[in-house]
Chains A and B, each alone.
Chain A
Amino acid sequence: MTSNDTFANFGARAHVDAADWREAIDVVGALLVEGGACTPEYVTAMAAGVEEFGAYIVVAPGVAIPHARPESGALIQGSAVITLSTPRDFGNPANDPVDTLIAFTAENKESHLESLQTIASLLGDDDAMASVRSAETNEELMAALQLAKNGDQS
């Protein structure tokens, strides 16, 4: 597998306070906007997707992957990660509450496949997810994510 430089390339924030699922999406979306990955409209579209289709972005217990269509305002491909100090319900009975959000942008329907593969293998790795969840500082969280990312290349 080739190297994947777009996983968590727009930053990570550990143990963020968010009042509800919408604020959690706003916080992780702000990392993408600040980094130039997308416009604010893209963040609005990520939340609108949950309203329109339900909480299907909660793909595993405790984990949501907010995203929107490339044409909703994606500029550069990448992702950002936050963990929540207090897990929040997104409306997905099987997998709520959510404590980890991995938001991503895609330039087209193929460009982000490597990122998705990294995300899937991270979520399937209980030890790596334990490190992500227990990280108390942004630096610890980024280190845990880097480890997962590098592990994916082997």
Chain B
Amino acid sequence: MISVATVCGMGLGTSMMLAMQVRQVLTSLNVEGKVDPIDLGSFKSSPSDIVVTTRAMEPQVQGTSAEIVLIDNLVDREEIEGKIRIALEALGK
């Protein structure tokens, strides 16, 4: 079971859209995971294996030990799946 935090500024728009996409990607990869949308204010106090956010938020998610996945296009399933796959491999999953 891996844990994924999808992060955005307010925790209710971009992060929730990311969470929906990541859940579908994990299902299609047959990976069991817990995906939680979270806002920037609380993400540092909620450790996870993988942090998924948009490239625009890159400066705000530095300093975590989690694998960071930066997405450009939130509706491009191939981009999301490819990058999640790389993060899973980095974690040895």
Which of A's residues lie within 8 Å of B, judged by CB? 49, 52-61, 65, 67-70, 91-92, 94-95, 104, 106, 109, 112-113, 116-117, 119-120, 123-124
Instruction: Please report which residues of chain B, range 38-60, place their CB below 8 angstroms from some CB of chain A when the two chains form the complex.
Output: 40, 53-57, 59-60
Smallest Cβ-Cβ distance to A67: which chain B residue: B13
What 1/0 flags go to B62-93 for Cβ under 8 Å of A? 00000000001111110000000000000000
* Chain A residues with CB under 8 A of B12: 67, 69-70, 106, 109, 112
Q: How far is the CA of A65 from the CA of B14 in the complex (A)?
A: 8
Instruction: Please report which residues of chain B, range 9-51, place their CB below 8 angstroms from some CB of chain A when the two chains form the complex.
Output: 9-14, 16-17, 20-21, 40
**Is B4 interfacial (CB 8 A cutoff)?**
no
The answer to whether B20 and A53 have CB atoms under 8 Å apart is no
Q: Given A59-B54, A92-B56, A94-B73, A117 and B20 touching (CB < 8 A)?
A: yes
**Is B5 interfacial (CB 8 A cutoff)?**
no
* Chain A residues with CB under 8 A of B9: 49, 52-53, 56
